[in-house]
Amino acid sequence: MANDALNFKGRTALVIGGTTGIGRAAAERFAAAGANVFVAGLGKDDGSAVVAHIRKVHGVDADFLEADVRRESDVQAVMSRAVERFGRVHAAVNNAGTEGRFGPVHEATAEDFDRLISINLRGIWLGMKYEIEHMLAKGGGAIVNTSSMAGVEGLANVAIYAASKHGVIGLTKSAALELARSNIRVNAIAPGAVDTGLLARMIAGKVDVSVIAEGTPMGRISQPAEIAEGIVWLCSDAASYVTGHTLVIDGGTTIG
């Protein structure tokens, strides 16, 4: 590999929320860098497809466990299974998330709020909880949490989603401080518009994706693989002095 700092050979990456979109792209990028990969998330068929692709194309090992991050027992089982399968987790990505209802904040229901927070914030925390316990016992590691452009600025009509993503950044920064002397780095990514099912569902019938692309300084939305590059870099030795950081990958949207 041209850049040894991005070489994960002999290491294991855990990607929670890795069956589709950004998570799947991250799992495949870790595999391309030589890592064995444990994938967790919803969608048994999607998860099995990711594992099969990784084994066939990248020649590393991979495994999958279906899990709902709203259930602590599921998240605990993911960590246990990953350790049982590969012995140690060196890098972990907490990517599971949902878009919620598009519309004014006062039209949201209590159920909307609880669902978004339980997946997008509590789910991230649960992943971190068990990953950190493992990494403290094993001498270190790197964690990346998926926030959003909506985690660094306000966005109309997705207020609860934005609140959950702001929360992810708060968790990330605070955990990074707690773990800075324990050889565990904790960072976040904040993607802008990405060509995923989540974006399509979020704006369906409300906004055309071409309008979002046109409103982006670079004139297009991103592909999941572009976000995955940032995730893998943050987990790599190339980012050895980076912790508590939120890497905004948004084509310039938030600086406009």
Enumerate the active-site residues: 161
How far is the C-alpha of 225 from the C-alpha of 12, rounded, in Å? Answer: 19
> 111 with 154: CB under 8 angstroms?
no
Tokens found for residue 171: 């968790």
Residue 144 CB partners (closer than 8 Å, separation 6+): 91, 92, 93, 94, 186, 187, 188, 189, 231, 234, 235
Name the β-bridge partners of 62.
37
Which residues are within 8 A (CB) of 166 and not within 5 positions of it... i.e. 6 or more apart?
147, 150, 151, 152
Phi-psi region for residue 251, left (φ > 0), alpha (ψ -120 to 50) or beta?
left
Dihedrals phi, psi of 3, to nearest 5 degrees: -110, 105
User: The tokens of 174 are what?
Assistant: 């605070």
